[in-house]
């Protein structure tokens, strides 16, 4: 029996027995608030979470949270067992220490492929920069995002932002030169701000290995196993790939990563347990999947 099949069997056994005594479905609250369900940034993780629970064969019932929170507050609320059961976010050693990760990158690592959102007036200027001057041009990332220390470690001049919308306003006001956003995020975010004079730089893409995981509370082994076994089944039967393509094939095609200048970065905060050697889990720009 292979290592993967052995793990699959162990997960299945651990999943069945804790659930056998339940008389009614258990509600699971995920971190995307009900008020933001129309925001396309959450549509894929929510759909994948539903798929994983369905494939797991368990009777969990998923429901959105009731309020909008910052990433830091969301993770703190999950860790303190204050009404959240599952979140999705980029992994880091600190997050894996405080929470329980399901180590399957749900977006195949696309969160680490970063296009540059810029002001329309600066398109030619950004196009003509070399890598050295790109790094010394001011940019921004959330101060509590893993991306911030990653860019700092790679000698980028990056400011620590707070409010998410305020970072777009900084770009609109030309207080920064660019705002790196993932391939999966940048066009929906641009469409949501039609009144801003922003565009996507045509030349550059930053890349660093990064994993977007589902996280649950540290001691919620049953839910973690349910999500993991559901994802493994979805990978095996192709339904996760189908969902991924449905949501991201257009953005991947539009990004045209093969024609861009790639700035390859290191990720000093990537946990050692990240399954980088399993190539089947990661996006390959040469194959487009």
Distance CA 222, CA 53 (A): 12
DSSP 120: G
**3-state SS track over 254-289:** HHCHHHCEEEECCCCCCCCCCCCCCHHHCCCCCCCC
CB 52 within 8 A of CB 84: no
Please count the CA atoms within 13 angstroms of the CA of 73 that sit on its side-chain side: 8
Residue 283 has pLDDT above 50, yes or no: yes
Distance CA 135, CA 278 (A): 31
Confidence of residue 246 (pLDDT cuts 50, 70, 90): very high
The helix (H) or strand (E) run that includes residue 182 is strand 178-182
Q: Which residues contact 226 (CB under 8 A, 6 or more apart)?
A: 15, 52, 53, 56, 58, 60
Q: Record the tokens describing residue 216, joined without a space.
A: 């649950």
Mean pLDDT, residues 249-253 taken together: 95
Distance CA 23, CA 46 (A): 26
Percent of the chain with pLDDT over 70: 89
Q: Which residues contact 20 (CB under 8 A, 6 or more apart)?
A: none
Q: Which residues contact 206 (CB under 8 A, 6 or more apart)?
A: 113, 114, 116, 180, 262, 263, 265
Ordered structural domains, the chain, with CATH? 3-109+211-252+273-281 (3.40.190.10), 111-207 (3.40.190.10)
Using the CB atoms, write b or e for 175-210: b if 16+ within 10 Å: ebbbbbbbbbbbbebbeeeeeeebbbbeebbbbbbb
Q: Is the C-alpha dihedral spanning 202, 146, 157, 282 positive or negative?
A: negative
Three-class SS state of 191: helix
Residue 234 has pLDDT above 50, yes or no: yes
CB 285 within 8 A of CB 259: no
The helix (H) or strand (E) run that includes residue 151 is helix 147-153
**What's this model's pTM, rounded to 2 decimal places?**
0.87
Q: What is the pLDDT of residues 81-137, one digit of tens each?
A: 888 999 999 999 999 999 999 999 999 999 999 999 999 999 999 999 999 999 999
Confidence of residue 9 (pLDDT cuts 50, 70, 90): low
Q: Give the per-residue pLDDT at 39.
A: 65
């Amino acid at each position: 029996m292979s290592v993967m099949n052995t793990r699959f069997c162990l997960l299945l056994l651990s999943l069945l027995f804790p659930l056998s005594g339940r008389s009614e479905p258990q509600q699971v609250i995920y971190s995307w608030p009900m008020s933001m369900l129309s925001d396309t940034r959450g549509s894929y993780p929510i759909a994948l979470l539903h798929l994983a629970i369905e494939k797991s064969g368990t009777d969990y019932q998923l429901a959105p949270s009731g309020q909008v929170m910052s990433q830091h507050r969301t993770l703190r609320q999950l860790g303190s067992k204050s009404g959240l059961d599952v979140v999705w976010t980029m992994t880091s050693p600190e997050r894996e220490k405080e929470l329980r990760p399901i180590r399957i990158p749900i977006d195949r690592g696309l969160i680490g492929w970063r296009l540059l959102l810029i002001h329309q007036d600066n398109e030619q200027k950004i196009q003509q920069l070399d890598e050295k001057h790109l790094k010394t041009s001011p940019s921004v990332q959330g101060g509590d995002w893993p991306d911030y220390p990653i860019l700092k470690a790679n000698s980028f001049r990056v400011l620590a932002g707070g409010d998410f919308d305020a970072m777009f306003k900084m770009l609109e006001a030309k207080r920064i030169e660019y705002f790196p956003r993932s391939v999966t995020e940048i066009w929906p975010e641009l469409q949501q701000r039609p009144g801003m004079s922003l565009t996507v730089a045509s030349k550059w893409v930053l890349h660093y290995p990064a994993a977007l995981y589902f996280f649950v509370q540290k001691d919620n082994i049953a839910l973690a196993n349910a999500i993991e076994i559901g994802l493994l089944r979805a990978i095996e039967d192709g339904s996760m790939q189908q969902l991924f393509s449905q949501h991201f094939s257009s953005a991947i095609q539009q990004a045209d990563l093969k024609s861009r200048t790639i700035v390859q970065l290191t990720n000093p905060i990537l946990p050692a347990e990240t399954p980088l050697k399993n190539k089947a889990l990661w996006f390959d720009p040469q194959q487009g999947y």
